[in-house]
């Protein structure tokens, strides 16, 4: 398996993978490929965006994309906007490998913290296994319009 930075040529394949990864348990999200591609392109269009993939036999099987939030006191944080592993490679250590590789790459770039918002116990369990802790600082809030 090979870890590398994402390239714009990867976006279409990553969009297909995102649809596949989220259509089943525990999410059951009904993404279209067009919506997924728009999400990837929008996330990666900023000057502070970063993205990574894992390939197996030249096929992308996992993706992590997000952006750096520049903060006070040199606390530069990476916000994960999308993280997925295609279903046939889930529960095989690929997600953990991707998270470890992303973490190591970000450390080299001077990033001090990674954060994300997720839902569902299975997702929380995965992130806790890779070293994340539930934050007591703030809450996710939403307003339906």
The CATH number of domain 2-129 is 3.40.630.30 = yes
Q: Which of these, 64, 65, 79, lies nearest to 111 by C-alpha position?
A: 79
Q: Which residues pair with 59 in a beta bridge?
A: 56
Q: Which of these, 30, 35, 37, lies nearest to 14 by C-alpha position?
A: 37
What is the residue extent of each domain of the chain? 2-129
pLDDT tens for each residue of 38-86: 999 999 999 999 999 999 999 999 999 999 998 888 888 999 999 999 9
> What percentage of the chain carries pLDDT values higher than 70?
94
Q: Which of these, 27, 11, 32, 18, lies nearest to 62 by C-alpha position?
A: 18
pLDDT for 121 equals 74
Confidence of residue 131 (pLDDT cuts 50, 70, 90): confident
pLDDT for 25 equals 78
pLDDT for 144 equals 75
pLDDT for 61 equals 98
User: How many angstroms from the chain centroid is the CA of residue 129?
Assistant: 16
Burial class (CB in 10 A: 0-12, 13-18, 19+), 35: middle
Confidence of residue 143 (pLDDT cuts 50, 70, 90): low
pLDDT for 139 equals 65
Helix (H, G, I), strand (E, B) or coil at 35: helix
What rounded mean pLDDT belongs to the chain? 91
User: 20: part of which helix (H) or strand (E)?
Assistant: helix 11-23
pLDDT exceeds 70 at position 28: yes
């Amino acid at each position: 398996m090979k870890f590398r930075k994402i390239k714009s040529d990867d976006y279409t394949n990553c969009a297909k993978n995102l649809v596949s990864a989220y259509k089943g348990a525990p999410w059951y999200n009904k993404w279209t490929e067009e919506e997924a591609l728009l999400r990837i392109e929008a996330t990666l269009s900023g000057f502070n965006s970063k993205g990574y993939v894992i390939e197996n036999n030249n096929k992308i099987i996992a993706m992590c994309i997000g952006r750096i939030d520049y903060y006070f006191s040199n606390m530069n944080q990476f916000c994960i906007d999308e993280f997925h592993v295609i279903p046939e490679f889930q529960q095989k250590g690929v997600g953990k490998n991707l998270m470890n590789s992303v973490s190591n790459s970000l450390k080299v770039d001077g990033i001090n913290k990674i954060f994300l918002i997720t839902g569902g116990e299975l997702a929380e369990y995965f992130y806790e296994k890779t070293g994340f802790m539930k934050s007591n600082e703030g809450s996710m809030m939403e307003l339906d319009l």
